[in-house]
Structure 1
Amino acid sequence: MMTADNHTVFYPVTYILTGIPGTEESHFWMAIPFCLMYVVTLFGNSLLLFIILTERSLHEPMYLFVSMLAAGDLLLSTTTVPKMLALFWFRAGEISFAACLTQMFFIHVSFLAESAILLAMAFDRYIAICDPLRYTIILTKSVIGKMGLAIVTRSFCFIFPLIFLVKQLKFCRTNLLPHTYCNYMVIARLACDDITVSLWYGVAMAILVIGSDIVLIAVSYGLILRAVFLLPSKEARLKALRTCGSHVGVILMFYIPSVFFYYAHLFGHIIPGYILILLANLYVLIPPMLNPIVYGVTTKEILKRVINVFHRWCRRSSLLS
């Protein structure tokens, strides 16, 4: 220990997650719907991955990108929800500093990776609709593999400096984290150091990475819409729009809450803290839960395979009984 500016400076061995302030008496009951949503998330995304990876006819670019998104959803929810449930049900709020940094790392890596996957999916739809004759030439399995590697590399390279910045901070206030998981800005605000560099790095990353992804996706869909409305028949236009509908829904579910949270943290004094934390919990639960449902219901090929899988399971269970 050492003192500076009349503050006790320390390097926390553990943090204590406090949950959602002001709702402690309701934690047990709040965890029940959270747990149910997590179970649906695990089942839906695992089933989606199983179907896409085992069905050769689905080894096409669009479905491979959907499987990447499902893997990202599983990583995001599994990184946060089990600890959240342990906190709510068993008051197990302690988390080591190393585990907290690891959780923070995977949360932010998942977020950046999913943003990049959505951009890759927009590019896929652009090629499929605007340049269909070269679709199989441009988006080969080798190219998709390189895109997947680039997505992981980009996410790691942008998030690793966050870990470095947090490890350099000195803490003098408390090791109590008013949250249900380790969030970068929540940890940084506990420091007694100047966190201007950390704040500006977060802003730069939001603008340069997430902002550029949003702009490129918007440009892709602008070109797609222009190409769609130039198609000669109404049926062709509707078919093209249907293939993009599920993707647009997933994009909106992903980006609208993230933009809201970014500005909510900038102007956090306007919105009560417990509302922000509750919404942050729902953000790591609802999109990962809904994504496989959206793709499963709106994509005929996936829906057909899901029905076939359940049909086979029902036949096996009836034979065993």
Structure 2
Amino acid sequence: MASSSLNQTSSFSHTEFILFQFPGVTKFRPLLVLPFLTMYTVILLGNATVMMTIVLEKSLHLPMYFLIWSLLAVNVLYTTAITPKMMLALLGLDRISLSGCLTQMFVVNSSIMGESIVVLLMAIDRYLAITRPLHYRDVISKHLLVHSAMNGLVRYCCAVFPLVVLASRLYYCKSNILYHFHCENMVLVNLGCGDISKVQIGGLLVRVLITVSDLTIVLLSYMKILHVVMKIVVGPARHKALHTCATHLLVVVLIYFSGLLSTILYLPGVPTSYNGQNISSAIYFLFPATVNPFIYGLRMKKIKTSLLKHWRNTKENMALKHTARGQ
């Protein structure tokens, strides 16, 4: 009888979910739209400005700046997949279908995977530029970027795609309330009935292994760069190399530290609240995307110079139009 009852219960599966974010805040939840709307606006304007500058300025048509453009594009992609729906949920439009949930999960996870690949390529790019300067232009080419993108696609299919497929096959009969601001795969899977341990373990292993392996490669690359710079490079060239690498490392720390913090809070046995998980995820997804354009725009001399040049040109053109209208 117990087995029969379980089968009947597990045959029912919710097809619609409620995004109940920041459960500790109830009465003033709509007011949370303001800071998130501000951050999202800064993300769109800041990233778009730097991306457009890289496209318009021919002197920035180099592999390093193409990778910076790609990183900023990924930032815009996954924040757009999350933030608008998050703000709508805060205003009361908090329902999302299972298919919409899985689609969001697909886009977010693939974007995060893409971000990790770009960061790895940035580390390799700087490594080759500093340790193999004479062969840099021969090694870093469109073929390498295409090859790396294909490897990233295979990596994604092997690591992330199965998690989305497994999540789509679960029966969600426990509840249809997601205590999160987006369809985080671990939060969604926890609503599944039956044995979900394999999916949970698989999800955590993918997040931990990818984060740790990528971070290890990146740190080893920059340690080798630092060794070469301090041993061989001297004078202004050393300062330029250290400045560029420090900028990239600052972005790496923001991305991976917030990612590791978010992952740790989802580990079994770690005491944390829904609000704690929501806040850590918000920091992971929104904070790096907010500050990245400022880091690159202010610390990268060529980008900063190009931004100022285009700003002056725009200001002069507006002044000329105003003068022409006055005449």
TM-score, normalisation: structure 1: 0.94
1:271 CA drift (Å): 2.1
Counterpart for residue 32 of structure 1: 34
Query: Residues 204 and 275 from structure 1, CA distance in 2 versus in 1: closer, same or farther, beyond 3 angstroms?
Result: closer
1:5 CA drift (Å): 6.0
Counterpart amino acid of residue 196 in structure 1: S
Q: Do 2:160 and 2:206's aligned partners in 1 also have CA atoms closer than 8 Å?
A: no
Residue 174 of structure 2 is aligned to residue 186 of structure 1: no
Counterpart for residue 51 of structure 2: 49
Match of 2:78 among 73, 76, 80: 76
Cα distance between partner residues in 2 of 1:313 and 1:262 = 44
Query: Residues 232 and 315 from structure 1, CA distance in 2 versus in 1: closer, same or farther, beyond 3 angstroms?
Result: closer
Cα distance between partner residues in 2 of 1:150 and 1:53 = 26
Correspondence 1:200-279 to 2 at 5 A: 200-231=201-232, 233-267=234-268, 269-279=270-280
Cα distance between partner residues in 2 of 1:11 and 1:222 = 50
Cα distance between partner residues in 2 of 1:30 and 1:164 = 33
* Structure 1 vs Structure 2 CA RMSD: 1.8
1:296 CA drift (Å): 0.6
1:234 CA drift (Å): 4.0
Cα distance between partner residues in 1 of 2:197 and 2:269 = 17
Q: Do 1:109 and 1:156's aligned partners in 2 also have CA atoms closer than 8 Å?
A: no
Counterpart for residue 85 of structure 1: 87
1:283 CA drift (Å): 2.1
SS class of match (2:171): coil
Return 222-231 or 46-55, whichever deviates more.
46-55
Residue 134 of structure 2 is aligned to residue 133 of structure 1: yes
Query: Residues 130 and 232 from structure 1, CA distance in 2 versus in 1: closer, same or farther, beyond 3 angstroms?
Result: closer
Counterpart for residue 292 of structure 1: 293
Counterpart amino acid of residue 46 in structure 1: A
Match of 1:13 among 12, 15, 18: 15
Q: Do 1:171 and 1:193's aligned partners in 2 also have CA atoms closer than 8 Å?
A: no
Measured against aligned partners, the alpha-carbon deviations of 1:169-224 in whole angstroms (never above 9, x if no partner) come to 11221111111110000000001121121122123323442222111111111111
1:318 CA drift (Å): 2.3
Counterpart amino acid of residue 17 in structure 2: Y
Cα distance between partner residues in 2 of 1:48 and 1:68 = 11
1:269 CA drift (Å): 4.8
Counterpart for residue 156 of structure 2: 155
Cα distance between partner residues in 2 of 1:85 and 1:17 = 11
TM-score, normalisation: structure 2: 0.92
**Where does structure 2 lack aligned partners over 5 or more consecutive residues?**
323-327
Return 22-31 or 75-84, whichever deviates more.
22-31
Query: Residues 179 and 203 from structure 1, CA distance in 2 versus in 1: closer, same or farther, beyond 3 angstroms?
Result: closer
Q: Do 2:185 and 2:203's aligned partners in 1 also have CA atoms closer than 8 Å?
A: no
What percent of counterpart residues are identical? 31
Counterpart for residue 24 of structure 2: 22
The 4+ residue runs of structure 1 with deviation greater than 6 A are none
**Where does structure 1 lack aligned partners over 5 or more consecutive residues?**
none
